[in-house]
Amino acid sequence: MPADHSGLSSPSLPHRAAVALGAAALALGLAAPPALAQGKPIRIGVPTAMQLQVGRDTQDAIKLAIDDINAKGGVLGRKLEMVVADETENPETGISAIKKLTADEKVDVLVGGYTSGVTLAQLPHISAAKTIYLGVGAASPAITQKVKQDYDNYKYIFRVGPINAANQARELTGFIANFVKGELGISKIAIVGENAKWVQDLVPVLKKGATDAGADIRVTEFFDTQTADFSPLFSKVKDSGAQYLVVILSHASSDTFAKQWYDSRFPMPYGGIDVKSMDGDFCDRIGAKSVGQMAANFAVRAPLTPRTIPFFDEFKKATRRSPVYTAFGANDAVYIYADAVKRAGSTDTAKVIKELEKTNYMGIPGVIQFDEMHDVKPGNASYKGPSFLLAQWRDGCKREVVYPKTQRTADFKYPSWIKQ
């Protein structure tokens, strides 16, 4: 090349040819013939709280389902693939996660969710993106109410799990009526819940149901999610004369609550909805101080359905952890979506929604069907849908199902320091 002192050099011929070839390749790539689109993978967007256990388990459960489906040939000849976006517990990040997945990554379906507040914030943006959303972690009834109020805009929203807070309240009422009063003979009850909207909506229903069943609700207290010191709360509960403490905890410091209950040898047993207590290692994490606590679980390693035990074992084998509740919904959601797409014959949103509404799938916690609000139907005496079981932590950090009686694996045992 001739010496050039201007600091610039004109591209030489081979250089230009390379650029032209590159441009041609790009053009070809962008204008891929439609026939190739058939093999294009189906993309599942996962908005979840990546740094939390619920987020990790959501991703791992989806991965298990995807690997299984892909190994069997995929869906309509197309493989499934997963794209994750962190929604944290902050609505702002949650909304931008939805936008990233729908507008940027152009996913075909969304599976995920955890905090009700974040999910509620995301709804209008999911609707604007006209993408199907299968919720696996948020329990607020408000999420699916929109489906009924404004079907055209919100028909994309489904909840695969957990059963919504109102249903959970009903189950908890049953627990109080049939077990706490019915079997233990305790009618003086205290209710303590964290300051979250779904809890605040749930408690009045709970109180009414329990009172109708003959329970005497001595005190109802809400506390801030960030509370680290529960002594004032414990003191109030003790002074009220209650003999059983019903709790409703999700984001709050359940670990600290259990530790303080144990450390002060609080003179009454406690139990109820405690999301963190669903973690397999909850009891170990706090030095076995939750032994005696009864916590609701949406599924445990028991033959609730033919899917339950195989899933628990597969999950444990792949991740060496015990799955938390979002894993059940996530895993089921992938299969449910895949089946709906197969039946619809394409990923066309409207067709898939029609098929999703007809879902009848043997899931992990129970049979999964959707009601008119696209909300998972809870189980009852005649229908084997998901419900919840109350399991008690026992010595050695083992869990035994105590309620309902039909699923009982062991009898209730009082905490060691309570004489009964």
Partner 1 sequence: MLEILIVGAVSSAIYAMLAVGFTLIFGVARVLNLAHGSFYALGAYGAYWLTSSLKWPLLPAALASIGAVALFGVAVERVFVRPMRSSQLAVLMITLAVALVVEQALFLTFGSEYRNVPGFVDAKVTIGGVDVAGSRLLALAVSVVVIAALWLFIQHTRLGSAILAISQDAQAAQYVGIPSDRIFSVVMGISAGLAAAAGILAGPFLSVQPTMWLLPIVKAFAIVVVGGLGSIPGSIVAALMLGYAETIVAYAASTSWTEIVSVLATLLMLVVRPAGIFGRRAAF
Partner 2 sequence: MLRHRLDLAAAAVLVGAMAVLPLVFPSNYLIGVLTVSAIYGIWAVSWDFMSGLTGRENFGHSLFIGVGAYTAGFLNTSFGANPWWSLPAAMVVSVLFALLIGLPTLRLKGPYFALAMLSGSVIMQRLMLIFWEHTGGEEGINGLAPLIRSQLGFYYFVLGTLVATTVVLLALARSHWGLILRAVRGDEATCQAAGINVTFYKIASLVISAACAGAGGAMYAHYQLQVSPQLFAVVTSITIITMVYVGGMGTIYGPVGGAILLVLATELLREFGEWRLMVYSCALILILFFLPTGLVAPLWQRLRGLLRRKGKDPLVPVAADVMEQQA
Q: Does 95 bind partner 2 (CB under 8 A)?
A: yes
Q: In 10 A of CB 319, how many CB atoms?
A: 17
User: Residues in contact with partner 2, total (CB under 8 A)?
Assistant: 33
Shortest Å distance, C-beta 265 to partner 1:
5
9 CB-contact burial (10 Å; exposed 0-12 / middle 13-18 / buried 19+): exposed
Contact residue for partner 2 among 46, 75, 85, 333 (CB under 8 A): 85
Question: Per CB under 8 A, which region of 49-57, 159-167, 243-251, 367-375 contacts partner 1?
Answer: 49-57
Q: How many CB atoms lie within 10 A of CB 417?
A: 10
- What is the number of alpha carbons within 13 Å of residue 275 lying toward its C-beta? 21
Which stretch in 96-104, 256-264, 277-285, 343-351 sits in contact with partner 2 by CB under 8 A? 96-104
Binding-site partner at residue 102 among partner 1, partner 2, none, CB < 5 to 8 Å by type: partner 2
Give dist(CA 375, CA 145) in Å, integer. Answer: 9
**Residue 227 lies near partner 2 (rule: CB under 8 A):** no
81 in Cβ contact with 41 (< 8 Å)? yes
Using the minimum distance from each CB to partner 2, give the nearer residue, 150 or 281.
150
Under a CB-based contact definition with an 8 Å cutoff, are residues 133 and 153 in contact?
Answer: no
Q: Is residue 74 close enough to count as binding partner 2 by CB under 8 A?
A: no
**263 is an interface residue for partner 1 by CB under 8 A:** yes
> Exactly one of 70, 145, 178, 195 binds partner 2 (CB under 8 A); which one?
195
* Beta-sheet pairing, 188-194 with 157-159: unpaired
Helices (H), 159-307: 165-174, 197-212, 231-239, 254-263, 282-285
Q: Does 103 bind partner 1 (CB under 8 A)?
A: no
Pick one of partner 1, partner 2, none as the site partner of residue 70 (Cβ within 5 to 8 A by kind). Answer: none
Burial class (CB in 10 A: 0-12, 13-18, 19+), 300: buried
Stretch that binds partner 1, among 32-40, 67-75, 99-107, 259-267 (CB under 8 A): 259-267
Which listed residue (90, 227, 240, 319) binds partner 1 by CB under 8 A? 227
Q: Of these, 58, 116, 131, 326, which contacts partner 2 (CB under 8 A)?
A: 116
235: alpha, beta or left? (left if phi > 0; alpha if psi -120 to 50)? alpha
Considering only CA atoms, which of 165, 163, 119, 166 is closest in space to residue 368?
163
Q: Is 286 in the site for partner 2 (CB under 8 A)?
A: no
Cis before 124 (ω within 30): no
Euclidean distance between CA atoms 298 and 57, whole angstroms: 15
Q: By the criterion CB under 8 A, which residues form the site for partner 1?
A: 51-53, 195, 221-224, 226-229, 231-233, 235-236, 253-256, 259-260, 263-266, 276, 279, 281, 285-287
Q: By the criterion CB under 8 A, which residues form the site for partner 2?
A: 50-51, 84-86, 90-92, 95-96, 99-100, 102-104, 116-117, 120-121, 123-125, 128-129, 140, 142, 195-198, 200, 224-225
